[in-house]
Structure 1
Amino acid sequence: MSARPFLSGVAPFGRAPVPAAPQLAAPILSEAFGTRPLDGAAPGFVRAALPPGRILWAQDRLSRIETGAPFLPGMGREMLRLDLVRAADVLSALEDGLASPALAAVVGEIHGSPRALDFTASRRLALRAETAGIPCWLIRHAARPDASAARMRWRLTALSSAPDPDDPQAPGDPRWRAELFRARDVRPAIWEARHDRAADRLDLVAASGDRELAAPRRRAG
């Protein structure tokens, strides 16, 4: 079946409209919230959504204590990892990273809802990401979805992996339930997300239909 999303309000044969897939590599500020502690859904989804190129990945101390640090050789990207202390340090590093043309994306992990990450700080990141043409992701651990200027806000839950085509007993591609609960210019919806590791692509399948909506894996800019 075609992968072209329906953009109108009516789908063929009287079916409910299928939501258009969001552009995950868009040069905007996005937030990812996990629904379960320690299942790695939010970091895994964000990693799968990253464009090719060099990535800045910064964590505050509490995020490292709770979830551990990314294992760089297993990330499949050239990663510049920053082990920082405070949320304010992470935000500052992301702003600096967005000023660098050598980076394809920046990612920050922040635990809780610290004062440093208020609406003004999120708006500053959003504007810098759009000006620079670089995606910026905030991974929020044990956090409330307070007011934010993020253009897309995701709620992620880990699902059982897809079957391995060569070994039914082995785990295959990772999958997530991906709820886009707030967005600008895209209708909120729920998808099943799957990281096609062979193609290094994140595919989205709308929960309300059977039509696969593949998010392009290209560098935004």
Structure 2
Amino acid sequence: MNGRFRTSAPAKALLTRLRAVSGGAAERAHRPPKAGHALETGQALEPAGSPARTERAVERDGLPADAHLDEIFAAPRDGAATGFALAHLPAGRPILWVQDRMAALETGRPHGRALHRFGVDPDRLVMVCARDARDVLWAMEEGLGCASMGAVIGEVWGDPAALDFTATRRLAMRAARSGTAAVLIRFAAQANLSAARRRWRIAARPSFAHPYDPRAPGPPRWRAELFRARDLQPGLWEAGYDAKTHRLDLSAALSDPELAPPDARPRRAG
């Protein structure tokens, strides 16, 4: 345990639960990357035709070898950030999900059926409701140090003093060392200085058309702005999610939705 973030009484219970969900393994060993298949969800982050390099994330036991910290900003009560985060995380892996008290009160808790749509097994999900941002950061660091954890998600409301550049740098370094993806979701927050490798602004858009029922919601659709990144070219896209392949697809945003192909246009109510 580190000394920067205070520990609380349920700390041992949290660590026990993390180890149980991750198969009872001890701290993650620093193993060299193992050659394997390209991570399906990692490749879609580079839009087709972009002059920037195509990102190739190599799997290591199912986890991306170049795991890092992403930061996602969203408006209050906009669930788009949650769906977008899950869409580019490894499917079927254990996840630690930490919310501070205000984030849990204002945005609610994840629902099992909705998690299934994004490749998450609720039985392998560890939910933590922390008192404040300081406890969120401590729990995220502990999760990133746990073997076999597929990803760590943290939700923080507003701009707490504990969430400064040093805190994000600690998370980024722990994610890089452990090979576990980390996502920090920020609600009602300003984009202050951060060590996150990629920083997104996400907003919900009308869903794509349902293939069988024009009145039913179809696949999710988001407005995704990558406003700062170290490894990709910033830009603005229309993002969609293919549940069958667990793939996040980005396409150039159109100023007029009517210019999109019929099957890609947002659905209309009525």
Question: Which category of TM-score, normalised to the shorter sequence, fits these structures?
Answer: 0.7 to 0.9
Task: Give the match for residue 164 of structure 1.
Answer: 210
Q: Give the strand-richer structure, 1 or 2.
A: 1
* Counterparts in 2 of 1:142 and 1:21: CA distance versus 1, 3 Å: farther
Determine which structure has the larger helix proportion and give its number. Answer: 2
Is the 8 Å Cα contact of residues 5 and 20 (structure 1) preserved in structure 2? no
Q: Alignment partner for residue 102 of structure 1, among 145, 148, 156?
A: 148
Q: Which runs of 4+ in 1 moved over 4 A?
A: 19-26
How far did 1:112 drift? 0.6
Residue 72 of structure 1, CA deviation: 3.0
**Which residue, 121, 125, 135 being the options, matches 2:181?**
135
Q: Note if 1:46 corresponds to 2:46.
A: no
Aligned equivalents of 2:182, 2:77: Cα separation in 1: 22
Counterpart in the other structure of 1:88? 134
- Secondary structure of residue in 2 paired with 1:145: coil
Q: Tell me, which stretches of 5 or more residues in structure 2 are unaligned?
A: 1-45, 58-63, 260-270
Provide the TM-score with structure 1 as the length reference: 0.82
Alignment check: 8 A CA contact 2:239 2:251 kept: yes
Letter in 1 for 2:101: R
Which stretch shifts more, 199-208 or 141-150?
199-208
TM-align CA RMSD: 2.2
Answering whether residue 59 of structure 2 is matched by residue 5 of structure 1, we say: no
- Bigger Cα Rg: 2
User: Are the structure 2 counterparts of residues 137 and 100 from structure 1 closer, same or farther at C-alpha, using a change threshold of 3 Å?
Assistant: same
- The number of residue pairs the alignment matches comes to 196
Opposite residue 111 of structure 2, the aligned amino acid is F
Distance 1:7 1:166, change over 3 A: closer
Give, in whole Å, the separation in 1 of the partners of 2:47 and 2:103.
Answer: 38
Structure 1: which 5+ runs fail to align?
9-18, 211-221
Distance 2:89 2:54 in 1: 16
The alpha carbon displacement at 1:101 in A equals 1.7
User: Identical aligned pairs, as a percentage?
Assistant: 47
**If the length of structure 2 is used for normalisation, what is the TM-score?**
0.68
Pick closer, same or farther for the CA change 1:45–1:23 going to 2, 3 Å. Answer: farther
